[in-house]
Chains A and B, each alone.
Chain A
Amino acid sequence: MPISDYDPACLPDLLPLYYRKLFPFPQYYRWLSYGGVSKNYFQNREFSFTLKDDIYVRYQSFSTQNELEKEMQKTVPYKIDIGAVYSHRPSQHNTVKSGTFQALEKELVFDIDMTDYDDVRRCCSAADICSKCWTLMTIAIRILDRALREDFGFQHLLWVYSGRRGVHCWVCDDAARKLSVAARSAVAEYLSLVKGGEETVRKVVLSDPIHPFISHSLTVMERYFPQYAIVGQDILGSTESVDKVLSLLPEDIRKELTSFNQNEKNPIKRWERICALVDRKKSSSKKGGQYFDKEIMLQYCYPRLDVNVSKGVNHLLKSPFSVHPKTGRISVPIDLKELDTFDPFEVPTISLICEELEKPRADEGEEDEMKKENEQDAGERRRIRDYKRTSLAKYVKVLDRFLEAMARSRKGEMLRKSDHQKEF
């Protein structure tokens, strides 16, 4: 992965600038306060910092946005993680009677990591990604976003690029934040279809009836699979990768395909043949319910999540807008409306945006912004203008829109409640 201008050695110089002028503190604070509905929600939130030389500090907490800013500008963390909202201020957890300091709430989170797909992607491995395998993330986001919204009824989902090889999802609904450990693991398991590690060859097994969740996921999959897997990953091209696919099929189909493949080199035709054979087998078999072709699609493309990340209420996850020290990329929110054109290599690095700060840039609607800014303090004003001059701007807008939606939701909820109370 080409890392153009960015040099990790520059981090110590760039980070202070980033935290002084670019990190969107107002939006960040607004997010984590959740409208101030719960008392001390922000104050009882745990943050953890990874400082220079890998020094890790937990149980950081702050009373105000200002305190958070000052601390971050002072300590200049290389990594920032967000944890749970506790029963007491995390920074004072040692003074609390043992057993009473507890994690109460946290967003429901998901972490999709490209390394988990190493057994099914041929273009890259480990921490590397490319535009070919990035499609896996697109598929993952589409499937999970639909399920979390339609099946579970969640509305406020923030998808974030992790900065290197994956994406995170923060489900911020009230109900989501209050979920128990058992509930979180149940949601994660509901969403899991690929099971098994190194020793398991066939990682997806489908049987009748096919749950609507699986049907929906297959619909998404079918849109992307031919281009991604057959063309892009060329899974039916070389002998080695064809064998891997064949290992997922029953003996009789395998035999037929091996001879068919000797004459047919076009991978698309090969895939069509597989589907046809599976279909034929299904209709002739009394047992029914054999979905080998769908299983192959799912094994190669279906999102692989780490249940352990989602399970724990006190689990710490990388914060949006933190910097990835190895790549320099900012962990930015992803606009789902432009998901298919999202390019991880276009995500701004810290060096890029610091550079952009130096150059003056024309801004649309700057006059309107000036009017709004008159109502805020000078420092903030400057900063708002600052990030807007950089490539970071559009990503902060995504967060803004997300926050607006949550605010509207809260207002609607309050109106509903007061209406309800007025009824006797």
Chain B
Amino acid sequence: MQFSGRRKKLIGSSQNDLYDHCPQFYGQPPLENISLIEFETFAVERLKLLKAVENLGVSYVKNSEQYTRKLNAEFSRLNFPLRTELDDRRVQGGPSEYEKRRKDHISHFILRLAYCQTEDLRRWFIQQEMDLFRYRFGCLSSKHKTDFLHKNNLKYEMVSVEEKKNLRDKLINSSYGLSGITVEEYDFYKVPFQDALDLVRSRKVYLLAGIAYIPHQEIVTIVLNDYRTRLSKALAMTARSLPAVQSDERLQPILNHLSHAYVGQDYSIQKNIGKISLEQIDPLSGKSFPLCMRHLHKALRENHHLRHGGRMQYGLFLKGVGLTLEQALQFWRSEFIKGKVDADKFDKAYAYSIRHMFGKEGKRTDYTPYSCMKVILSNPPSQGDYHGCPFRHNDPELLKQKLQSYKISPIGINQILELVKGMHYQLACQKYFELTHSIEDAGFSLNHPNQYFMESQKLLGGGRDIKKEVEMSQRGQENVSNNSPNMPQPPQANSKPTHDEMGDLDSFFQDE
């Protein structure tokens, strides 16, 4: 892929062949020049699409009516291709199908660069891309499915009507759930047994002379396995060529940002500044803090100390919650002094880093409160650390005990542990939110600890009146929003932020 300039240059209709099906295996990298803006935009939008695929896949049964409806909405909203026909009709002035497919193609390859570097990233990327592919392939008609397979060198022939008649009984007896009628109706594909190992191994298909006779619906499994293998290999290769790409200074920051991407609000602009008093932090930690911050707060109170990772994660969170610099200094100082640190040492060593967080010392690149992605993926905690994401980094037994001590119901705990097992850490936290706030559906898609806090405060009736517990649960029910679950809610400021004061800080943070 060439990144030689900012010029946009479209290659003509020879690309049409590449894009004549909506799903694709992404075998060939795109060969055109694109602008950096398009580079970043395409990538971010695909990331949003993949996250939607992940969320919907866990929240709803795949291919259920709700799943389909919501996923289709995401496709439209983000302008990704879904329709089967390639034509140049424009819908309401939006991009044409061709343009959508081009974006699909390019954005996939960009994300490969961002997601090839670690096992975790690869696994996530492959999983979502497979689900995406499965969905799109499923939308194709029978004929288009066969066309697609042939075009992609999966030269699986269809079994002729004649042959099906001859093999009728054998076919019926080879697969559970096939009857005479279904054998007649369904398409069967002839697949070399080496490409259908799982089905052969468990004797779920008819095998003759080394050819497996695969019914229509099983063909997806085979195609998916093939896709996963290809993508896995491709990512390994991409990882090897990555140093060359990373040496291009324009791309490195974009790619780094993508792989830790949090594609929503960054809570760097503080609303509600000074609205939280220090006395409120203790009760708030139990009610409105996400589990990670609740733990950090507890550890701080118990040990009168937190290590650097914990200070950063919790300190920036508190800043996002609305603590002023003065409040923060007071908060940390009073706690540390109770421990082994005396006032002098605090002022010398720790105060500096807190001022740093608030942009008062030197210039550092990252002042924004950490998103869930960042907490989960970077800087795993070691012995003596309390930062990180409890759903990701805690031993499940320990997590279970902690949840029990917070009086979460056993059913709820099991639900959380199931999500943890499936590596859906943010969804587990969302479930924790739902259980602690006694609501069915959080109504938002959790991506950021400060988002958790804001949503909780919204539910509980605002930052000031946390004493009105009774009304809260009722209001909580009413407030379950019917917004799209994928959009993080914009923070609702209860009072106008004092922009003038914070003016320079705002611009400071825009850089991120």
B413 shortest CB reach to chain A, Å: 34
A179 in contact with B194 (CB, 8 Å): yes
- How far is B208's CA from A147's CA once the two chains are assembled, in angstroms? 9
A153 in contact with B209 (CB, 8 Å): yes
Chain A residue nearest to B177 (CB atoms) is A209
In chain A, positions 195-223 with a C-beta closer than 8 Å to chain B are: 208-215
- How far is B240's CA from A272's CA once the two chains are assembled, in angstroms? 68
A185 in contact with B208 (CB, 8 Å): no
* Chain B residues in 8 Å Cβ range of A214: 203
B142 shortest CB reach to chain A, Å: 25
A64 shortest CB reach to chain B, Å: 34
- How far is B211's CA from A213's CA once the two chains are assembled, in angstroms? 14
Contact with A along B160-202 (1 / 0, CB 8 A): 0000000000101111101000000000000001100110111
- How far is B172's CA from A151's CA once the two chains are assembled, in angstroms? 16
Tell me, yes or no, whether A152 is within 8 Å of chain B by CB. Answer: yes
- Residue of B178, B197, B211 with highest tally of chain A CB at under 10 A: B197
Chain A residue nearest to B207 (CB atoms) is A151
Provided the pairs A152-B210, A212-B206 are in contact, do residues A190 and B173 lie with their beta carbons within 8 angstroms?
no
A239 shortest CB reach to chain B, Å: 36
B194 in contact with A211 (CB, 8 Å): no
B197 in contact with A211 (CB, 8 Å): no
B208 in contact with A150 (CB, 8 Å): yes
- How far is B210's CA from A293's CA once the two chains are assembled, in angstroms? 30
Tell me, yes or no, whether A183 is within 8 Å of chain B by CB. Answer: yes
Provided the pairs A182-B197, A183-B197, A186-B200 are in contact, do residues A212 and B170 lie with their beta carbons within 8 angstroms?
yes
* Chain A residues in 8 Å Cβ range of B200: 186-187, 190
B173 in contact with A211 (CB, 8 Å): yes
Provided the pairs A151-B208, A152-B207 are in contact, do residues A209 and B173 lie with their beta carbons within 8 angstroms?
yes
A153 in contact with B210 (CB, 8 Å): yes
Tell me, yes or no, whether A3 is within 8 Å of chain B by CB. Answer: no
Provided the pairs A152-B207, A153-B209 are in contact, do residues A186 and B174 lie with their beta carbons within 8 angstroms?
no
In chain A, positions 51-98 with a C-beta closer than 8 Å to chain B are: none
A340 shortest CB reach to chain B, Å: 26
* Chain A residues in 8 Å Cβ range of B170: 212
The tally of residues in B whose CB lies under 8 Å from a CB in A reads 21
Tell me, yes or no, whether A154 is within 8 Å of chain B by CB. Answer: yes
B210 in contact with A209 (CB, 8 Å): no
* Chain A residues in 8 Å Cβ range of B197: 182-183, 186
Chain A residue nearest to B198 (CB atoms) is A186
Tell me, yes or no, whether A175 is within 8 Å of chain B by CB. Answer: yes
Give the secondary structure class of A's interface.
Answer: helix
B100 shortest CB reach to chain A, Å: 37
A235 shortest CB reach to chain B, Å: 27
A183 in contact with B194 (CB, 8 Å): yes
B232 shortest CB reach to chain A, Å: 14
- Residue of B172, B175, B193 with highest tally of chain A CB at under 10 A: B193
- Residue of B178, B200, B210 with highest tally of chain A CB at under 10 A: B210
B206 in contact with A189 (CB, 8 Å): no
Chain B residue nearest to A213 (CB atoms) is B203
- How far is B199's CA from A189's CA once the two chains are assembled, in angstroms? 11
Contact with A along B442-481 (1 / 0, CB 8 A): 0000000000000000000000000000000000000000
B76 shortest CB reach to chain A, Å: 40
A209 in contact with B202 (CB, 8 Å): no
B210 in contact with A212 (CB, 8 Å): no
Provided the pairs A189-B202, A190-B200 are in contact, do residues A175 and B174 lie with their beta carbons within 8 angstroms?
no
* Chain B residues in 8 Å Cβ range of A179: 194
B190 shortest CB reach to chain A, Å: 12
* Chain B residues in 8 Å Cβ range of A151: 207-210
* Chain B residues in 8 Å Cβ range of A152: 193, 207, 209-210
* Chain B residues in 8 Å Cβ range of A187: 200
* Chain A residues in 8 Å Cβ range of B202: 189
Contact with B along A210-246 (1 / 0, CB 8 A): 1111110000000000000000000000000000000
- How far is B185's CA from A349's CA once the two chains are assembled, in angstroms? 60
A234 shortest CB reach to chain B, Å: 33
Chain B residue nearest to A151 (CB atoms) is B207
Contact with B along A117-161 (1 / 0, CB 8 A): 000000000000000000000000000000000111110000000
B211 in contact with A153 (CB, 8 Å): yes
Provided the pairs A151-B208, A152-B193 are in contact, do residues A190 and B201 lie with their beta carbons within 8 angstroms?
yes
A212 in contact with B194 (CB, 8 Å): no
- How far is B198's CA from A240's CA once the two chains are assembled, in angstroms? 40
B207 in contact with A186 (CB, 8 Å): no
- How far is B173's CA from A215's CA once the two chains are assembled, in angstroms? 10
Contact with A along B198-225 (1 / 0, CB 8 A): 1011110011111100000000000000
- Residue of B176, B178, B194, B206 with highest tally of chain A CB at under 10 A: B194
Out of B176, B193, B194, name the residue touching A209 (CB < 8 Å). B176
* Chain B residues in 8 Å Cβ range of A175: 210
B281 shortest CB reach to chain A, Å: 55
A211 in contact with B201 (CB, 8 Å): no
* Chain A residues in 8 Å Cβ range of B178: 209
* Chain B residues in 8 Å Cβ range of A212: 170, 173-174, 206
In chain B, positions 209-250 with a C-beta closer than 8 Å to chain A are: 209-211
A209 in contact with B203 (CB, 8 Å): no
- Residue of A185, A190, A210 with highest tally of chain B CB at under 10 A: A190
B203 in contact with A211 (CB, 8 Å): yes
A20 shortest CB reach to chain B, Å: 42
B181 shortest CB reach to chain A, Å: 15
* Chain B residues in 8 Å Cβ range of A208: 176
Out of B175, B206, B210, B211, name the residue touching A154 (CB < 8 Å). B210
* Chain A residues in 8 Å Cβ range of B172: 209
* Chain B residues in 8 Å Cβ range of A183: 193-194, 197
* Chain B residues in 8 Å Cβ range of A211: 173-174, 203
- How far is B192's CA from A153's CA once the two chains are assembled, in angstroms? 10
- How far is B174's CA from A151's CA once the two chains are assembled, in angstroms? 12
Contact with A along B139-153 (1 / 0, CB 8 A): 000000000000000
Q: Which residues of A contact B (CB under 8 A)?
A: 150-154, 175, 179-180, 182-183, 185-187, 189-190, 208-215
Pull 11 A–B residue pairs with CB atoms less than 8 Å apart, ordered by A. Answer: A151-B208, A153-B209, A153-B210, A187-B200, A189-B201, A190-B201, A190-B207, A209-B174, A209-B176, A209-B178, A211-B174
Q: Which residues of B contact A (CB under 8 A)?
A: 170, 172-176, 178, 193-194, 197-198, 200-203, 206-211
Q: List 4 additional contacts besides A152-B209, A209-B173, A211-B173; criterion CB under 8 Å.
A: A209-B175, A211-B174, A212-B173, A214-B203
